[in-house]
Structure 1
């Protein structure tokens, strides 16, 4: 739970609901009914359906970044590819595409979508012994590989193939 304010409670409920049922294709009124509130309350707290979905995706990303510090890379990958996160990952990529295309209400989604990850990834790379001068490039590469494989997974559902690809990628960071 992220807090006890009415907005935080709605956001927690939306995260849980979307993880179980999806939601990007639902109207704001339908999402409000699913969450046991009114569309006016969602507009008050999030501005629009896109604002709500952006808040959901950003909070899920923040929770994943927090988990990165506590898990080894293989466990972190297993967490990201857990079936319980599939709807949230699909939402992430839908919003990413909409924001890149300039869809109204989605521009905020792009704020920090890359940069917010680089510091935590570089910190993890430091723990793995990657030299400081190499960390920025490795952080971008790791983020790109991870997001690419997650997109592959939500597109194809081929868990075995994406796991094998990530295993090959992570092997580059194992000490001989």
Structure 2
């Protein structure tokens, strides 16, 4: 009689693989995940059936973490003007805590990884509109959510391409100054 799947082990492995992928990127082979989890590639396949299933699960888990963390950053706070909230969110997203997510998901603008989560590009855009609309509503600017998102995404792509944080930070601060407070 074969061994029964143990969901808690699978979840522990998934969390460790996700931590590794956020720190080092998605590996081409399973060996880095096996090393990071302290198990074998055979056990990873046992729990996830294929490399692609594991990679998809890692990406989905990382994305969920990003949605939770960044979503909280974009949520309006009583007594704090929303442009200040956006400035704080930008600082976090472009800082050391946000960089792993930007590196991982920034690679998804094109390439074979797109096959793992075919709807990712659309979802990675529309997921942020709701929190931005809610926050911007506090300053009667909810209709500018698409504009704010486009500026954030564009400046993140610029930062990724150039590494010029001084210029992109100034551009974002200048953009925030366009809001009537």
Task: Give your verdict on TM over 0.5.
Answer: yes
Count matched residues: 164
Select which of 19, 23, 26 maps to 2:25: 23
**Runs of 5+ unmatched residues, structure 2:** 1-6, 78-84
Change (3 A) 1:8 1:73: farther
**Runs of 5+ unmatched residues, structure 1:** none
Deviations 1:95-151 (A, max 9, x none): 2323xx784323142452222211110000011232xxxx24x11111111111112
Q: TM-score scaled to structure 2, two decimals?
A: 0.74
Change (3 A) 1:143 1:40: same
Q: Which residue of 1 aligns with 2:38?
A: 36
Alpha carbons 2:155, 2:172 under 8 Å: kept: yes
Distance 2:179 2:155 in 1: 18
RMSD: 2.8
Q: TM-score scaled to structure 1, two decimals?
A: 0.76
Q: Which residue of 2 aligns with 1:80?
A: 93
User: Which stretch has the larger CA shift, 44-53 or 54-63?
Assistant: 44-53
Distance 1:149 1:6 in 2: 40
Distance 2:24 2:129 in 1: 28
Select which of 91, 95, 110 maps to 1:97: 110
Q: Which residue of 2 aligns with 1:13?
A: 16
Change (3 A) 1:74 1:102: closer
Select which of 116, 122, 125 maps to 2:127: 116
Task: Please identify the structure whose Cα radius of gyration is greater.
Answer: 2
Distance 2:71 2:11 in 1: 19
User: Which stretch has the larger CA shift, 83-92 or 41-50?
Assistant: 41-50
Distance 1:119 1:103 in 2: 24
Q: Which residue of 1 aligns with 2:81?
A: none
Distance 2:68 2:122 in 1: 13
